[in-house]
């Protein structure tokens, strides 16, 4: 895309956001740091930003094709994409199909247990507080979103879950859980972050394990996932 990366707007755990000459568009640039266990551990490997970008580009286009609105505009470079500038809601929506991570710690659940129904959790995006779990009443009381926006986030999160689960099932992958964030673009809520192994647990259906040798080789997981997605979609070569 014929845009110029100008000034740094923000810097998060997995990417930087840059302004462009178009006030409505920005460039999201992915790092080569691999975030593990919800940002509690970082591993570095060359090319991780490009792998994350490639995976995210495919999944965002899959969502768009399923009429789920996103901020995604197009691929910009190997490790970056063009996005619509969005007013981010300070809420992370976590969708869980299997018990894992902090859910097991908080509720005493057995790890790798398939849940009878997908569970939605909400976290207040605040690094100083450790992104605490909240419910919708906290969100309304703290004025993090409106009731209409909460309804929209829940509805679209469950739609995303269905699309991802159906897609990954084709290549023998289980979507154990994932995080999604939303932002306002022209007063409309859209998916405004990323969907990748940075923010999701993708498990092999036979082992119920991540494809990264249990966190020892994250590059293996990113590369295998991209290979499988390219096998069942035709987005990989599109920009």
- Distance, in Å, from the CA atom of 131 to the CA atom of 129, rounded to the nearest integer, reads 6
- Closest by CA to 164, choosing from 36, 58, 39, 49, is 58
CA atoms within 13 A on the CB side of 106: 8
- Distance, in Å, from the CA atom of 225 to the CA atom of 170, rounded to the nearest integer, reads 12
Q: State residue 35's pLDDT score.
A: 57
Q: State residue 238's pLDDT score.
A: 45
Contacts of residue 32, defined as CB under 8 A and 6 or more positions apart, other chains included, come to: 44, 45, 46, 47, 48, 49, 79
Q: 237 pLDDT band (50/70/90 cuts)?
A: very low
One DSSP character per residue, 114-175 reads: EEEEEEEEEEE--GGGT--EE-HHHHHHTTSS-HHHHHHHHHHHHHHHHHHHHHHHTTTEEE
Phi, psi torsion values for 172, nearest 5 degrees: 75, 30
Query: In this structure, what token pair is assigned to residue 198?
Result: 């940075």
- Indicate whether 6 pLDDT > 50: yes
Element at 177 (helix H, strand E): strand 173-185
Q: State residue 46's pLDDT score.
A: 86
- Indicate whether 63 pLDDT > 50: yes
In this prediction, what percent of the chain has a pLDDT beyond 90?
81
Q: State residue 215's pLDDT score.
A: 64
Averaged over 182-205, what is the pLDDT?
95
Contacts of residue 2, defined as CB under 8 A and 6 or more positions apart, other chains included, come to: none
Averaged over 66-79, what is the pLDDT?
97
- Distance, in Å, from the CA atom of 177 to the CA atom of 203, rounded to the nearest integer, reads 10
Residue ranges and CATH numbers for the domains of the chain are 8-84 (3.30.200.20), 87-216 (3.30.470.20)
Q: State residue 34's pLDDT score.
A: 58
Q: What is the pTM of this model?
A: 0.92
Q: State residue 210's pLDDT score.
A: 87
- Indicate whether 200 pLDDT > 90: yes
> Which regions of 48-104 does DSSP assign to beta strands (E)?
72-77, 80-84, 87-98
Contacts of residue 149, defined as CB under 8 A and 6 or more positions apart, other chains included, come to: 89, 182, 189
């Amino acid at each position: 895309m014929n845009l110029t990366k100008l000034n740094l707007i923000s810097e998060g755990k997995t990417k930087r956001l840059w302004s462009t000459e178009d006030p409505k568009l920005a460039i999201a640039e992915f790092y080569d740091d691999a975030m593990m266990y919800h940002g509690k551990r970082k591993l570095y490997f060359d090319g991780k930003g490009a792998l994350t970008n490639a995976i995210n580009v495919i999944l965002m286009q899959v969502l768009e094709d399923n009429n789920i609105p996103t901020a995604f505009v197009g691929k910009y470079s190997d490790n970056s994409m063009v996005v619509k500038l969005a007013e981010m809601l300070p809420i992370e929506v976590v969708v869980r199909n299997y018990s894992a991570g902090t859910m097991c710690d908080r509720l005493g659940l057995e790890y790798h247990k398939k849940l009878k129904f997908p569970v939605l959790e909400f976290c207040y995006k605040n690094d100083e507080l450790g992104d605490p779990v909240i419910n919708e009443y906290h969100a309304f009381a703290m004025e993090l979103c409106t009731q209409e926006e909460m309804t929209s986030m829940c509805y679209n999160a469950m739609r995303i879950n269905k699309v991802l689960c159906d897609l990954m099932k084709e290549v023998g992958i289980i979507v154990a859980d994932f995080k999604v964030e939303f932002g306002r673009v022209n007063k409309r809520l859209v998916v405004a972050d990323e969907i990748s192994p940075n923010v999701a647990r993708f498990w092999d259906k036979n082992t119920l394990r991540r494809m990264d040798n249990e966190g020892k080789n994250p590059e293996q997981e990113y590369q295998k996932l991209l290979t499988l997605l390219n096998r069942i979609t035709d987005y990989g070569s599109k920009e």
